[in-house]
Structure 1
Amino acid sequence: LPPPAAFQLPFCQLVNQTVSLEKEGCPRCHPVETTICSGHCITKDPVIKTLFSKVYQHVCTYRDFYHKTFELPDCLPGVDPTVTYPVALSCHCGGCAMDTSDCTFESMQPNSCMKDEPFYY
């Protein structure tokens, strides 16, 4: 018998990803390559919950990372053109840090752009 679908998913790991950088006052999105954490983490949600049940939902998140700076071109006068984005160095399964991660079930893809204008290179 084939294993359940969850066991066929790749485990939490570093992956190369294109992310879109944009900023209000700068007319275009700019795609950059970075490394992010992506993949499956084992989670637990017991059927019978008691006061002392340990329920956890781990997500694939950064263990070590640094921020890289990029300067967007063609920004309006007075707008700081610099933006920073994270570059993952290592990953682990842990609690979702809402101050640095998108913890929603379905979120925008990292290469999506809020502006309707096409990317340029």
Structure 2
Amino acid sequence: MNPALLISLPFFLALTLGQSMSFCIPVDYVIHVEKRECAYCLAINTTICEGFCMTWDSNGKKLLPRSALSQDVCTYKDMVYRTVMIPGCQHHAVSYYTYPVALSCKCGKCNTDYTDCIQEAGHTEYCTVSQQLYNP
């Protein structure tokens, strides 16, 4: 057997099996939306993409072809946007909030056009004012 083929076979198998073993799926998530001009905080039930995607350590980048190196993240494949109205807002305030709903997910490059690729620091997972639940 060709030595180059013998060496590349484990990488091919790992890549093929890695993608099929990725666990990147839509999961339930609650977004808390709060504005200073509004009397209530809205807790919105939605779905986001979450899970494990196979990645390759770039320490071997000099030995491997560029196509074999990846840093994939669990991201949206199909999604829709929904808009809700936050209750109790002052008349001059923008009381609408638009949020994404994951329909399906994939392992791929993080697209900054519609995904926050950096974990947001200081984000609260709760409301500081009276809460109303919105369940679409």
Q: TM-score range by the shorter chain?
A: 0.7 to 0.9
**Equivalent residue of 1:12, what SS?**
strand
State the Cα deviation string for residues 42-63 of structure 1 (Å, max 9, x = none).
0112323239742321111110
Larger radius of gyration: 2
Q: Using structure 2 for the length normalisation, give the TM-score.
A: 0.67
Contact 1:20 / 1:32 at 8 angstroms: preserved in 2?
A: yes
Identity %: 36
Say if 2:58 is the partner of 1:40.
no
Q: Which runs of 4+ in 1 moved over 6 A?
A: none
- The amino acid across from 1:103 in the alignment is C
How far apart are the structure 2 equivalents of 1:109 and 1:17? 18
Shift of 1:35: 1.3
Q: Specify the alignment match of 1:18 in structure 2.
A: 30
The count of corresponding residues between Structure 1 and Structure 2 is 111
Mark the CA change 1:11 to 1:77 in structure 2 (over 3 Å): closer, same or farther: same
Greater helix percent: which structure?
A: 2
Mark the CA change 1:46 to 1:94 in structure 2 (over 3 Å): closer, same or farther: same
The 5 Å alignment of 1:1-121 reads 11-50=23-62, 53-54=65-66, 55-104=69-118, 106-107=119-120, 112-113=125-126, 116-121=128-133
Contact 1:12 / 1:92 at 8 angstroms: preserved in 2?
A: yes
Q: Using structure 1 for the length normalisation, give the TM-score.
A: 0.74
Mark the CA change 1:49 to 1:102 in structure 2 (over 3 Å): closer, same or farther: same
**Equivalent residue of 2:48, what SS?**
strand
- The amino acid across from 1:13 in the alignment is I
How far apart are the structure 2 equivalents of 1:51 and 1:74? 60
CA-atom RMSD in angstroms? 2.9
- The amino acid across from 1:47 in the alignment is N
